Structure 1
Amino acid sequence: MAMTEAAVRLVSVTKDFGAVRAVDGVDLSLAEGEFFSLLGPSGSGKTTLLRLVAGFERPTTGRVELSGREVTTLPPHRRDVRTVFQDYALFPHMSVEQNVAYALTVRGVRKAERLARAREALATVRLDGFGPRRPAELSGGQRQRVALARALVDRPAVLLLDEPLGALDLSLRRRMQTELKDLQRTTGITFLLVTHDQEEALTMSDRVAVVSDGRIEQIGPPVEVYERPATAFVAGFMGTTNLLRGAAARRVVGRPGTFSIRPERIRLADLAEPAAEGERTVTGRVAEIVHAGAHTRFTIALPHDDRLTVIRQNLAGLPPSVRPDAEIRLLWDHDDAFPLPS
């Protein structure tokens, strides 16, 4: 993505908590109007990075910039950013409208203007007419939208989202993913999302940074990070993969090194089916079949205790030989075994 003036820039940022280094020399730039995700497991440092941008933490070393202005030592209220947390933190004794307008009330904005802006923010998140209600009268998804409206009401340059969908059920979470992306496109505000959910990052982001042990392992568009992982950690964390090293790589892939093969790239076939030109093939035994709604996951036991996972969309029938304990053939294109640094 072409970068002009970065909405957010971290320059050689580290953060220590006593003897623990939570962020280790991170350089990062977010473009204006970009939806960017920090993806990683618990304890990887992604939330600390968000708190450094928000001003809730100060870096041990390095620099934080917003729209070209250094803000490293500025407190949160002097930064043009707002944060939406997982628990929403709505005031139960206030109406929805009062919750949304709270920041404007603290700043002394006139009543007529703050109510107009609160209603505009509620309309942006599709909650027209909900202003008089209390948070307890709303569903989880509606409370999430109120928290978004409250963060958007004073039109920040950057919106920080700290695991905002974690408390929602699966179907609502997926619907909110679409709505968040639509909201970001509509407002043009730079969104920075922290999540451990690969589906969220893949669904919503323009770019993703995969974080591990306080460092950024890879940055890129979701498709690139998924299809061409830079490290074994990225391959394993960004979705499901078959990671093959050493002797297993030589046996299964036919080459030395470390390789990632995505399970949806592997084809199941009868033993009699030959490999086409450019395909690699191995035979194995069906050790497990797990039906997971739209797809089925197969675990295939190979000789020498090697195993491969295969994921197949439930669109058509399987070859007759694909049943528990049956011997079958696996095929994939040579290029689908993606090489990784050893």
Structure 2
Amino acid sequence: MTETETRTRTGTTTTRTAVRLEAVTKDFGTVRAVDAVDLTVREGEFFSLLGPSGSGKTTLLRLVAGFEQPTAGRIELAGNDVTATPPNRRDAHTVFQDYALFPHMSVEQNVAYALTVRGVRKAERLARAREALTTVRLDGFAARRPAELSGGQRQRVALARALVDRPAVLLLDEPLGALDLALRQEMQTELKELQRTTGITFLLVTHDQDEALTMSDRIAVVRDGRIEQTGPPVEVYERPATAFVAGFVGTTNLLRGEAAVRVVGRPGTYSIRPERILLTEPVERPVDPPAEPPAEAAAAADGRRTVTGRVTDIVHAGAHTRFTIALPHGDRLTVLRQNLDGLPQSARLDGEIGLSWDEKDAFPVPS
């Protein structure tokens, strides 16, 4: 079985690999949907493929499931080469966005279907189906038909059907996309708890940044068939590897050079998250450094960058208010302010307002 080494404070430990892709490429005619992707998902991990529509994330999931064959490269599950193995012989099950439940079957029959196909005896498959329904909190729903269930309940049935065969890997193809916001947030919590309880490796495909950040142990951000960055949610959010990741995972402000930091000789593009920017009263002193100051004098004494801008838009979004502010040199900043206390008097449309951020929060990203 393929294993990877990870370092801990007490030494080196060994982590088993659930899914491995090596230089996997997939072409559809002249279109390259996946371009030489290398990816490792650890056993027992909740891993998300995050990207916009058309980025190739669903194709990657279908390649792991066996619904598509790679043009080039190698796919492993639990250390076994399954590149040419058909879907029904891979130790992985898929939960689809539309759930794909059989309308003429009861909930119990839907859940037990895979066991029926495999020829498992009736008593055993019914016992395992009921166990799976208990796992997803659907006790007492066994006799109902899918049409008698809510969207969240149908989603749980689809999960139970995928779990009943105890796969090594559960593949989730945007399973929460059809749910309303409140139910989607509830199911995010339940999915993460289900993954922890079962210990099964979850590989999720989603375009929803909040969904990926909320549930995942690690995230791979996918763009144009390639992986831009892989890492824990906090790392991907706080230290984006590219401007695309900075802009796609959450909201960010991209500023160049001295617009972001006051240290001369630090060119490039910097990502500043909206919640890191403070609103103040307008700054009365000049904010741009002299033409050629010494490097030591170029940084603010307290390590903060302070500028003045004009409020062009205010959006109240429940727990926070979002401000759009135009800077004198033409850039626009988005600022998020928690609705906990009063705002500066100048925080009004067309008002001049001060902005301040710690230069350590201006993270450099490649252009």
Once the two structures are superposed, residues 102-148 of structure 1 have per-residue CA deviations (whole angstroms, 9 ceiling, x without a partner) of: 01111111111100000000000000110001101100000000000
| Equivalent of 2:335 in 307, 310, 313 | 310
- Equivalent position of 2:57 in the other structure: 46
- Equivalent position of 2:253 in the other structure: 242
Q: CA deviation at 1:71?
A: 0.4
With structure 1 as the length reference, what TM-score do the two structures score?
0.97
Matched, 1:263 2:288: no
With structure 2 as the length reference, what TM-score do the two structures score?
0.90
Distance in 1 (alpha carbons) for counterparts of 2:196 and 2:41? 15
- Equivalent position of 2:303 in the other structure: 278
Map 1:154-303 onto structure 2 (within 5 A): 154-245=165-256, 249-254=257-262, 255-271=266-282, 277-303=302-328
Mean CA deviation greater in 221-230 or 5-14: 5-14
**Which residue identity does 1:134 align to in structure 2?**
R
Distance in 2 (alpha carbons) for counterparts of 1:280 and 1:103? 60
Distance in 2 (alpha carbons) for counterparts of 1:205 and 1:262? 21
1:81–1:156 contact (8 Å) kept in structure 2: yes
Distance in 1 (alpha carbons) for counterparts of 2:259 and 2:304? 15
2:319–2:339 contact (8 Å) kept in structure 1: yes
Q: CA deviation at 1:328?
A: 1.0
**Which residue identity does 2:216 align to in structure 1?**
S
SS in 2 for 1:287: strand
Q: CA deviation at 1:313?
A: 1.1
2:254–2:269 contact (8 Å) kept in structure 1: yes
- Equivalent position of 2:25 in the other structure: 14
Distance in 2 (alpha carbons) for counterparts of 1:190 and 1:25? 23
Mean CA deviation greater in 111-120 or 264-273: 264-273
Distance in 2 (alpha carbons) for counterparts of 1:84 and 1:251? 46
Distance in 1 (alpha carbons) for counterparts of 2:168 and 2:64? 12
**Which residue identity does 2:332 align to in structure 1?**
R
Structure 2 residues without counterparts, runs of 5 or longer: 7-13, 286-299
2:260–2:362 contact (8 Å) kept in structure 1: no
**Which residue identity does 2:91 align to in structure 1?**
D
Distance in 1 (alpha carbons) for counterparts of 2:96 and 2:15? 29
1:252–1:282 contact (8 Å) kept in structure 2: no
- Equivalent position of 1:116 in the other structure: 127
Once the two structures are superposed, residues 22-61 of structure 1 have per-residue CA deviations (whole angstroms, 9 ceiling, x without a partner) of: 1111111111100000000011010010001000011111
Mean CA deviation greater in 44-53 or 313-322: 313-322
Distance in 2 (alpha carbons) for counterparts of 1:306 and 1:276? 24
Of all paired residues, the percent bearing the same amino acid is 81
2:171–2:203 contact (8 Å) kept in structure 1: yes
- Equivalent position of 1:61 in the other structure: 72
2:230–2:236 contact (8 Å) kept in structure 1: yes
Q: CA deviation at 1:251?
A: 3.3
Once the two structures are superposed, residues 70-118 of structure 1 have per-residue CA deviations (whole angstroms, 9 ceiling, x without a partner) of: 0000000000000000000101111000000001111111111100000
Q: CA deviation at 1:276?
A: 6.5
2:170–2:200 contact (8 Å) kept in structure 1: yes
**Which residue identity does 1:238 align to in structure 2?**
V
Q: CA deviation at 1:252?
A: 4.4
Map 1:71-86 onto structure 2 (within 5 A): 71-86=82-97
Divergent runs of 4+, >4 A:
272-276
- Equivalent position of 2:9 in the other structure: none
**Which residue identity does 1:194 align to in structure 2?**
V
Distance in 2 (alpha carbons) for counterparts of 1:92 and 1:160? 22
**Which residue identity does 2:44 align to in structure 1?**
G
Q: CA deviation at 1:243?
A: 1.2
Distance in 2 (alpha carbons) for counterparts of 1:304 and 1:328? 15
Q: How many residues align?
A: 339
Distance in 1 (alpha carbons) for counterparts of 2:353 and 2:203? 45
Distance in 1 (alpha carbons) for counterparts of 2:283 and 2:221? 42
**Which residue identity does 2:335 align to in structure 1?**
V
Structure 1 residues without counterparts, runs of 5 or longer: none
**Which residue identity does 1:141 align to in structure 2?**
G
Distance in 2 (alpha carbons) for counterparts of 1:14 and 1:327? 52
**Which residue identity does 1:331 align to in structure 2?**
S
Q: CA deviation at 1:304?
A: 2.5
Closer, same or farther: CA 321–147 of 1 in aligned 2, 3 Å: same
- Equivalent position of 1:89 in the other structure: 100
